[in-house]
Structure 1
Amino acid sequence: QPPAKPGSWRLGAPDVVLEASEAYTLAADGTDVYRNFVIPVPPEAEGWIKAVELQPGNPKVAHHAVMRVDATDKSAARDAEDPEPGFSGMDFAGAQMPSGRFVGWTPGKAPDPGQVARSFRLGEGSDIVLQVHLRPSGKPESIKPRIGLYLSDRPATRRALAMELSSTEIDLPPGATDVHVRDRYVLPVDVYVITVYPHAHYLGKQLHGWAELPDGSKKWLVKIDDWNFDWQDQYRFAEPLRLPAGAAIAMDYSFDNSAANPHNPSSPPQHVRFGQASTDEMAELILEIEPADPAQLPQLDADFMKAWLERQIRHYEQRLAAAPDDAKAMLALAAFEARRGRTPAAIERYEAALRIVPDQADAHVDLAIVLIETEAWDRARAELERALVLAPDDARTELTLGNLLRKRKDYAPAIVHLRRATELDPAQADAWNNLGIALELDRQLPAAQRALEQALELAPKRTLFRENLARVLGAQGKDADAIAAYRAVLEQDESAVGSLKGMALMLLRTADEGSSNALRAADLADRAAKLTGGRDPTVLEVLATAQHASGKLDRALATAGAALALAKQAGDAALIDRLQIKIDQLQALRSGQD
Structure 2
Amino acid sequence: MTYSKQIAPILYKNCSGCHHPGGSGPFSLLSYQDAARWGTVIARVTQSRYMPPWLPEPGYGEFADNRRLPDADVALIKRWVNSGMPQGDIVDAPKPPIFTSDWQLGPPDLILHSDSAMTVPASGTDLFHNFILPVPISETKYIRAMEIKPGSPQVVHHANVLIDRTAALRRAHPADWKQGIAGMEITVPSGDSFDPDSHFLFWKPDSEALVEPEGMPWRLDPGNDLVLNMHLKPTGKPEAVSATVGLYFADKPATARPMLLQLEHDDALNIPAGDADFVVEDQLKLPADVDALGIYPHAHYLGKRMEGFAILPSGEKKWLILIPDWDIDRQSVYRFARPIFLPKGTVLHMRYTYDNSAANVRNPNSPPIRVKAGNRSVDEMGHMWLQVLPRPLRDSERDTRELLEKAWMEDRLRKDPNDHTALYNLASVEMNDGDFKAAAALYQKALERNSNDALTLTALAAALDSAGGWQQARAEYEKALAVDPDDANARFDLGQLELRHEDYPAAEKEFRQLLATNPKDPGAHAALGAVLVQTQREAGARQELEAALALDAHNFDALYNLAGLEAGAQNFARATELLQTALQQKDDPDSRQLLAAVYAQSGKLADAQREFEALQKLRPKDAAPHLALAKVYAQMGEMQKAIREQQAALEIEPTDPGNWNDLGVLHVHAGDKAAAKADFERALQLDPGNEAARGNLDRL
Asked whether 1:451 is paired with 2:513, we answer: no
- Length-normalised TM-score, structure 1: 0.70
Asked whether 1:259 is paired with 2:358, we answer: yes
Q: What residue number does 2:284 align with?
A: 185
Secondary structure of the structure 1 residue equivalent to 2:266: coil
Asked whether the 8 Å contact 1:190–1:242 carries over to 2, the reply is yes
Distance 1:350 1:261, change over 3 A: same
Q: What residue number does 1:23 align with?
A: 117
Asked whether the 8 Å contact 1:543–1:559 carries over to 2, the reply is no
Q: What residue number does 1:201 align with?
A: 300
Q: What residue number does 1:66 align with?
A: 160
2:528 to 469, 474, 477: 469
Q: Deviations over 1:147-167 (max 9, x none)?
A: 233343344433221222222
Q: How many residues align?
A: 518
Q: State the alpha-carbon separation in 1 of the partners of residues 504 and 329 from structure 2.
A: 58
Secondary structure of the structure 2 residue equivalent to 1:81: coil
1:368 deviates by 13
Q: What residue number does 1:227 align with?
A: 326
Q: What residue number does 2:338 align with?
A: 239
1:222 deviates by 1.4
1:8 to 85, 95, 101: 101
1:564 deviates by 7.7
Secondary structure of the structure 1 residue equivalent to 2:171: helix
1:118 to 209, 216, 224: 216
Asked whether the 8 Å contact 1:508–1:546 carries over to 2, the reply is no
Asked whether the 8 Å contact 1:508–1:521 carries over to 2, the reply is no
Distance 1:367 1:555, change over 3 A: closer
1:53 to 147, 150, 166: 147
Q: What residue number does 1:394 align with?
A: none
CA RMSD, aligned part only?
4.9
Q: State the alpha-carbon separation in 1 of the partners of residues 551 and 419 from structure 2.
A: 43
Q: What residue number does 2:399 align with?
A: 299
1:134 deviates by 0.9
2:314 to 194, 212, 215: 215
1:206 deviates by 1.3
Q: State the alpha-carbon separation in 1 of the partners of residues 533 and 408 from structure 2.
A: 42
Structure 1: gaps (5+ residues): 318-328, 381-402, 408-413, 530-538, 566-578
1:276 deviates by 2.0
Distance 1:19 1:83, change over 3 A: closer
1:210 deviates by 1.7
Q: State the alpha-carbon separation in 2 of the partners of residues 131 and 100 from structure 1.
A: 17
Q: Deviations over 1:263-297 (max 9, x none)?
A: 21112222222222222221111122223459999
Asked whether the 8 Å contact 1:177–1:256 carries over to 2, the reply is yes
Q: What residue number does 1:315 align with?
A: 415
Distance 1:67 1:294, change over 3 A: farther
1:306 deviates by 0.8
Asked whether the 8 Å contact 2:554–2:581 carries over to 1, the reply is no
Q: What residue number does 1:391 align with?
A: none
Identity rate, percent? 29
Secondary structure of the structure 1 residue equivalent to 2:315: coil
- Length-normalised TM-score, structure 2: 0.61
1:196 deviates by 1.1
Q: State the alpha-carbon separation in 2 of the partners of residues 446 and 344 from structure 1.
A: 32
Q: State the alpha-carbon separation in 2 of the partners of residues 157 and 35 from structure 1.
A: 34
Deviates more, 1:72-81 or 1:2-11: 2-11
Asked whether 1:482 is paired with 2:545, we answer: yes
Asked whether 1:131 is paired with 2:229, we answer: yes
Secondary structure of the structure 2 residue equivalent to 1:80: coil
Secondary structure of the structure 1 residue equivalent to 2:129: strand
Secondary structure of the structure 2 residue equivalent to 1:304: helix
Asked whether the 8 Å contact 2:457–2:477 carries over to 1, the reply is no
Matched AA of 2:104: L
Q: Deviations over 1:154-211 (max 9, x none)?
A: 4443322122222223222222222222222333443332221111111112111123
Matched AA of 2:399: Q
Q: State the alpha-carbon separation in 2 of the partners of residues 450 and 212 from structure 1.
A: 57
Asked whether the 8 Å contact 1:162–1:287 carries over to 2, the reply is yes
Q: Rg bigger for which structure? A: 2
1:174 to 273, 277, 280: 273
Matched AA of 2:132: V
1:423 deviates by 7.3
Q: State the alpha-carbon separation in 2 of the partners of residues 204 and 232 from structure 1.
A: 11
1:248 to 347, 360, 365: 347
Secondary structure of the structure 2 residue equivalent to 1:102: coil
Q: State the alpha-carbon separation in 2 of the partners of residues 294 and 233 from structure 1.
A: 32
Q: Deviations over 1:528-586 (max 9, x none)?
A: 56xxxxxxxxx756655554554446877897782489xxxxxxxxxxxxx98998777
Q: State the alpha-carbon separation in 2 of the partners of residues 143 and 368 from structure 1.
A: 37
Q: What residue number does 1:149 align with?
A: 247
Structure 2: gaps (5+ residues): 1-14, 23-99, 600-607, 625-651, 668-700
